[in-house]
Amino acid sequence: MPQSPTRPAPPPHRRLSAALADLHRALLNAQAAGSPLASNPYALLQAVMHDPDFAWLRGFSNLMLRIDEAGAKGATPSPEAMQGFLADALHLVEGGGDAASADIHSRLRTFLLRPEVAAKAAALRATVGDLRQSLAQ
């Protein structure tokens, strides 16, 4: 059986953005669990954009947007920009940084008992660690 060609690893900013998106999705689903929003993707999107109960998730959305903008049109963010994105991602999941990051981390902690959230948070931390190591080389 022929082997499929291996794909090159995605650029660092895409890896970070994907890990953030996975955690954001898990947190969004956890926040919506038990509400009518959970079964309606359009209503959930509206809640994320306008409902104050979901406002804390915008820190993840904003960071993903900044990363995607930095990598627009095939550009690769500079190592310095990547270090900033990595630091911001860690502030979101571990606290620290500014008051908004601390609030986000506090809210995230309430969902870490859910296996899907804990797994995605751990995956984001691992991605940040891997990218920091590769950028240091």
Ordered per-residue pLDDT tens for the chain, 137 residues: 555 567 887 889 999 999 999 999 999 999 998 888 888 888 888 888 899 989 999 999 999 999 999 988 778 888 899 999 999 999 888 887 777 777 888 889 999 999 999 999 999 999 999 999 998 87
pTM of the model: 0.88
pLDDT of residue 106: 85
Q: Are 28 and 44 in contact (CB under 8 A)?
A: yes
Q: 20 and 67 in contact (C-beta within 8 Å)? A: yes
- 78 Rama class: left (phi>0) / alpha (psi -120 to 50) / beta: beta
Report pLDDT for 24: 95
Residue 2, pLDDT score: 58
- Tokens found for residue 19: 């890990």
CA distance 77 to 56: 26
Which phi and psi angles does 26 have, rounded to 5°? -65, -40
DSSP secondary structure, 13-48, as one string: HHHHHHHHHHHHHHHHHHHHTTSGGGG-HHHHHHHH
Q: What is the pLDDT of residue 40?
A: 87
Instruction: Report pLDDT for 94.
Output: 87
The answer to whether the beta carbons of residues 31 and 54 sit under 8 Å apart is: yes
